Structure 1
Amino acid sequence: MFYGENLKNLRMLYGVSRKQLANKLKLTEQSIGNYENESFSPEINIVIEMSKIFDVKSTFFFKKFPRNGIVPTQHVAFRSSERNIRKSVAQNVTQINFAANIIEYCEAVINFKANKLKSLVHQLNTTKKKALLSGKGWTIEDTAKYTRNSLKIDSNKRLLYIVENAGAFVIEKEIDINADAYSVWTRNEDGSLRSPFIILGRRNKSAVRRIFDVAHELGHLLMHTNVDFENLENSEFREYEHEANEFASALLLPQEKIKEAFKTVRNPARPDDYKLIKKDFLVSLATAEYRAYKLGLVSKEQNNRFFASMYRKHYKQIEPLDNDIPINRPEKIKALLKLLYERGDLGSIISDVFQIEPKLLIEVLGLSDSFLGTITDSSSSQNNVFRFA
């Protein structure tokens, strides 16, 4: 049986319209629609051609794609409130669906440790509820402190590793729309949380901005699990973004530590005076100053002069030390695949379980050709990804 949903998902994954695919195959757009609706099946020569285009086995179309978790589009914490950009989330969600099903299958084979972040969401909700009922109150500052202690974040340099080790799957990819990063929980059929995913863009970013992105998305995953981002008013969307920023600042710059470190700042209005804080905490000069300002260590006038100086010095583009601090890359997915390769399981998972070519695997998981070459026969990954004009 030909599964039209498999074709539709591949088309969405590649961001290809029915018309574009029809033109490539020298068919009508209606024919592609009929394949996807399963009104009738394509001829075998068409199936073979589609398998080449999308880097899958021909048998991919005749076997239901293994499905574990579900990625709810409305819960994707995507950093744009513009509706035309939100619509393009569908392609990114399709990629996460592919990635999630492959990764979660691989994880089950290895039997990785329990997901700490899922437990942390429950702990935070319970602790927050108790605090509110007792009249103590609960703030984002409290959430950040609880998170830092629970995950044992002893160094911001290790944040990405700690977040991955706590259960998050982090993927780097080209994000072709106005967003630096986004995140989402995959769900079980009953809507309960399954696995957290963070997608990081590959734009030229400094190490400190990358660390802030990870902290920002962690805030979304912990605080905004059930927010419907698709139907927010712009003001509501900005508020949730503000909360994630506040969480990231508090997580990276704990109140007690930043107050002590601030003693090294001779002139709060001078950006270069925050270099030592940036070096020690791996945050941008702007993040360090803004955190100090929110804690009452910097006056409004000093804050205004600080950012005026930032613009004059062109520090909004690149700050001092940006080129000196190395950028950490996600490692968990690569480690998982390497382990499966060493066990002799990876080849059968790619070819037999998911019926895809290695080239599609690295596209979906944001890996490099060079990485794939270290764990697979290079001859099996020579197919070129079809580029639609």
Structure 2
Amino acid sequence: MALNSHNIIPARIKEARESRGLSMAELSDLIEVTSQAISQYEKGIIKPSVFTLKQLSNTLRFPFSFFYKPKREKSCDNSPVFFRAVKSTPKKFRNAYSYYIEWADEIYNYLNQYIKFPEVSLPDVSSYINGESLDFETIEEIALKVRKYWELGDEPINNLVELLEDKGIILCRIKFKNKKIDAFSQWFNGKPYIFLGSEKGSAVRSRFDAAHELGHLLLHPHLKIDDVYRKDVSDRIEAEAHYFAGALLMPITSFPKEVIHNSIDYLLMLKEKWKTSVSAMIMRSKQLNLFSENQINYLNRQMTTRQMWRREPLDDIIEPEEPKLLNEAVDLVLKNKVITSDQFLNDISLFQNEIINICCLSDDIFDPPKKEHKIELKVIK
């Protein structure tokens, strides 16, 4: 790609700034140009000099080629980006992480030239959705329909992340800079994406996050962006996705038969089987009226006494479920020499650490192969 001032993509400058959570004024201070100039760069009114573009590249941590890479057209059918902590997440962080879905989509579409990815296979639940709130009985039906469609039966889901990838959902796991963000998801250009946090410290809570985001993708794709950020709508859809996650992971047709004792230690035994947190099982038991109000209150007090609300036993034992689809796709094209590492990095036009994080790659995947010794030891008689 020829790098010249005539094909800089202004939208990429805005993308680079917003993805780092910076205002124009903050970026202005960092690269010592005026906010007005940055605004004009982003609108394409004026072009930054090569020196300024280099400053943007270094400050915002993007390769020079990123600013020349054409953007793919967005589908008008894209859903809003659903954040698990939308109310407490500042807008600048929502904007910043929204770009990660665009980057994952660019990586997916690039690899899709060479890799046969699983087709999206989600049940049609549109008949349940009328644009208004969903009652919990309806959500139970939808969760059971998903289980039937995927032929899961009534048993615990062994590996939810692997299952979702098999059904055509692209999952990524990254480290969030804002501790209030647990996960986010979006339908983007006809493809469902879920991003999970890498610092959760609990495999079972991260599984619940994945199920929660699946709930958004199934129940709320029709919502408008402005609606999602209204408090009444945000509260409602969060409650619906939360209920869906519990109903999917702990189905009404089998989980109640397992809950025969109201003690924390018994629920910890179930935790190993169902791979859901004790707190989630208490919540689910309350939803299904498996325990009396007094029993629920007792369990909650025990959770407090044993300091289990933030971290539970077995959280460091149960293995986290890692996304593998993009990882395996990158590994496949590189190992089979379909493309070189340099070509891949140049075409994607993100710094390699960013690609490694999004695709859950090993840190050394783009390192050049070690050269074999061209000399050998002498045989001394």
TM-score under structure 2 normalisation? Answer: 0.83
- Contact kept in structure 2, 1:170 and 1:200, CA below 8 Å: yes
| SS at structure 2 position matched to 1:116 | coil
- Contact kept in structure 1, 2:12 and 2:67, CA below 8 Å: yes
- Contact kept in structure 2, 1:9 and 1:94, CA below 8 Å: yes
Question: CA-to-partner distance for each residue in 1:114-145, whole Å, 9 max, x for gaps?
Answer: 1113xx2xx2224x48xxxxxxx971111111
Residues 234-383 of structure 1: matches in 2 within 5 Å? 234-263=231-260, 265=261, 268=262, 270-343=263-336, 344-345=338-339, 347=341, 350-363=344-357, 365=358, 367=360, 371-377=362-368
- Corresponding position of 2:102: 97
1:163 and 2:164 aligned: yes
Over 3 Å counting, the alpha-carbon distance change for 1:34 and 1:155 in structure 2 is same
Per mean C-alpha deviation after superposition, the further-off stretch among 346-355 and 321-330 is 346-355
> How much identity, in percent, do the aligned residues show?
24
TM-score under structure 1 normalisation? Answer: 0.81
Over 3 Å counting, the alpha-carbon distance change for 1:96 and 1:70 in structure 2 is farther
Q: CA deviation at 1:81?
A: 4.7
Per mean C-alpha deviation after superposition, the further-off stretch among 25-34 and 197-206 is 25-34
- Contact kept in structure 2, 1:65 and 1:354, CA below 8 Å: no
Over 3 Å counting, the alpha-carbon distance change for 1:85 and 1:19 in structure 2 is closer
Over 3 Å counting, the alpha-carbon distance change for 1:301 and 1:351 in structure 2 is closer
| SS at structure 1 position matched to 2:125 | helix
Unaligned runs of 5+ in 2: 1-5, 130-135, 371-381
In the alignment, the residues of structure 1 paired with residue 245 and residue 53 of structure 2 have an alpha-carbon distance, to the nearest angstrom, of 48
- Corresponding position of 2:173: 172
In the alignment, the residues of structure 2 paired with residue 180 and residue 328 of structure 1 have an alpha-carbon distance, to the nearest angstrom, of 15
Q: Which amino acid aligns with 2:299?
A: F
- Corresponding position of 1:185: 187
Over 3 Å counting, the alpha-carbon distance change for 1:54 and 1:366 in structure 2 is farther
- Contact kept in structure 2, 1:151 and 1:162, CA below 8 Å: no
| Two-structure CA RMSD over aligned residues (Å) | 2.9
In the alignment, the residues of structure 1 paired with residue 85 and residue 57 of structure 2 have an alpha-carbon distance, to the nearest angstrom, of 34
Which among 39, 48, 52 is matched to residue 46 of structure 1? 52
Question: CA-to-partner distance for each residue in 1:281-309, whole Å, 9 max, x for gaps?
Answer: 11111222332232232111211121122
| SS at structure 2 position matched to 1:320 | coil
Over 3 Å counting, the alpha-carbon distance change for 1:357 and 1:285 in structure 2 is closer
Q: CA deviation at 1:252?
A: 1.0
Question: CA-to-partner distance for each residue in 1:228-275, whole Å, 9 max, x for gaps?
Answer: 364354343222212112111111112232132123x2xx2x222212
Q: Which amino acid aligns with 2:107?
A: I
Residues 39-78 of structure 1: matches in 2 within 5 Å? 39-67=45-73, 72=78, 75-78=80-83
- Contact kept in structure 1, 2:249 and 2:274, CA below 8 Å: yes
In the alignment, the residues of structure 1 paired with residue 333 and residue 247 of structure 2 have an alpha-carbon distance, to the nearest angstrom, of 38
| SS at structure 1 position matched to 2:266 | helix
State the number of aligned residues: 354
